[in-house]
């Protein structure tokens, strides 16, 4: 009897731990981290694989908002092998998810030879009809760009 009770408790604890790891918020953060890992090893295709056909995109080098996965693939293709960092950190992470849409925002710190490159990052993810979460909007900007100069 005592053992059955312990087993039931154990099952509930395992389910709770498993549920925590599988919240939409956790999933989104993990997908973003995995894409950033590839990004800082010179492989921008992690973000392309995560992005939806109707993605829109801002970075500080563009004059206008970029429209669609084809344009983003072309842009990121030109970055292949060029972006590297020893390590990165996501800080001040904010994430909110609903059933069909979620956003993730964070400060991104990329370290190379003890020099830190600071970014502000915002992503909007949307649950697509095939059941996969995809990025529909990306906005990266430099943290305090004018002070950097």
Shortest CB 55 distance to a copy of itself, Å: 9
Site for a copy of itself contains 58 (CB under 8 A): yes
Choose between 26 and 140: whose C-beta lies nearer to a copy of itself.
140
Count of residues interacting with a copy of itself (CB under 8 A)? 39
Residue of the chain from 2, 61, 129, 131 that contacts a copy of itself (CB under 8 A): 61
Q: x/- site string to a copy of itself, residues 87 to 126, per CB under 8 A?
A: ----xx-x-x-xxxxxx-xxx----------x-x-x-x-x
Rounded Cα–Cα distance for residues 25 and 4 (Å): 34
Residue 119 to residue 97: CA distance in whole angstroms: 22
Q: Is position 70 an interface residue for a copy of itself (rule: CB under 8 A)?
A: no
Q: Does 29 bind a copy of itself (CB under 8 A)?
A: no
In angstroms, the CA 79 to CA 60 distance is: 14
Q: CA-CA distance, 70 to 84, in Å (whole number)?
A: 23
Which residue's CB is nearer to a copy of itself, number 40 or number 57? 57
* 126 and 133 Cβ atoms separated by less than 8 Å: yes
Largest CA distance in the chain: 70
Q: How far apart are CA 74 and CA 76, in angstroms?
A: 6
Six-digit token string for 19: 């549920």
Per CB under 8 A, residues contacting a copy of itself are 54, 56, 58, 60-65, 67, 91-92, 94, 96, 98-103, 105-107, 118, 120, 122, 124, 126, 136-137, 139, 141-146, 148-149
């Amino acid at each position: 009897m005592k053992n059955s009770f312990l087993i039931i408790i154990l099952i509930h604890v395992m389910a709770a731990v498993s549920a925590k790891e599988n919240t939409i918020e956790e999933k989104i953060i993990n997908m973003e981290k995995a894409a950033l890992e590839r990004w800082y090893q010179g492989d921008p295709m992690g973000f392309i694989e995560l992005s939806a056909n109707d993605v829109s995109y801002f970075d500080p080098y563009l004059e206008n908002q970029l429209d669609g996965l084809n344009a983003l693939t072309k842009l990121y293709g030109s970055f292949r092998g060029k972006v590297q960092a020893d390590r990165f950190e996501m800080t001040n992470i904010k994430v909110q998810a609903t059933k069909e849409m979620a956003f993730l925002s964070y400060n991104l710190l990329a370290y190379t030879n003890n020099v830190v490159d600071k970014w502000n990052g915002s992503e909007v993810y949307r649950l697509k009809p095939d059941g996969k979460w995809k990025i529909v909007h990306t906005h990266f900007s430099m943290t305090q760009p004018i002070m950097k100069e």
